Homo-oligomer: A and B are copies of this chain.
Amino acid sequence: MAPIYLTGDKSGISEFINKFDIFLFDCDGVLWSGDHIFPGTVETLELLRSKGKKIIFVTNNSTKSRSDYQKKLISMGIPSNVDEIFASAYSSAIYIARILKLPAPKNKVFVLGESGIETELKSEGVEFIGGTDPAYRRDITPEDYKGIADGSLLDENVGIVLVGLDFHVNYLKLSHAYQYLARGAKFLATNTDSILPSNHTFFPGAGSISIPLINMTGQQPTALGKPSQAMMDAIEGKFLFDRKTACMIGDRLDTDVRFGIEGKLGGTLAVLTGVTKKSEWEADGAAVVPAYYVDRLSDLRG
Point out residues on A near B: beta carbons under 8 Å: 139-140, 145-146, 148-150, 166-171, 174-175, 178-179, 182, 194-195, 198-205, 207-209, 211-212, 215-216
Contact = CB atoms under 8 A, between A and B. Distances in A.
A150 B208 contact: no
Contacts of A166: 171
How many monomers of this protein are in the complex? Answer: 2
A203 B178 contact: yes
A209 B215 CA distance: 11
A149 B199 CA distance: 6
B174 A208 contact: yes
19 contacts: A139-B167, A139-B168, A145-B198, A145-B203, A146-B199, A149-B199, A149-B201, A168-B171, A171-B204, A174-B208, A175-B204, A178-B203, A194-B216, A195-B216, A205-B216, A207-B212, A208-B215, A211-B211, A212-B212
B178 A167 contact: no
A117 to B, nearest CB: 16
A240 B179 CA distance: 43
A200 B167 CA distance: 30
A168 B168 CA distance: 11
A194 B82 CA distance: 41
Contacts of A139: 167-168
A167 B139 CA distance: 7
Given A145-B198, A167-B171, A171-B203, 14 more contacts: A139-B167, A148-B203, A149-B198, A149-B199, A149-B201, A150-B199, A168-B170, A169-B169, A182-B201, A195-B216, A204-B212, A205-B216, A208-B216, A211-B211
A173 to B, nearest CB: 10
Nearest to A195: B216
Contacts of A169: 169-171
Contacts of A204: 171, 174-175, 178, 212, 216
A275 to B, nearest CB: 15
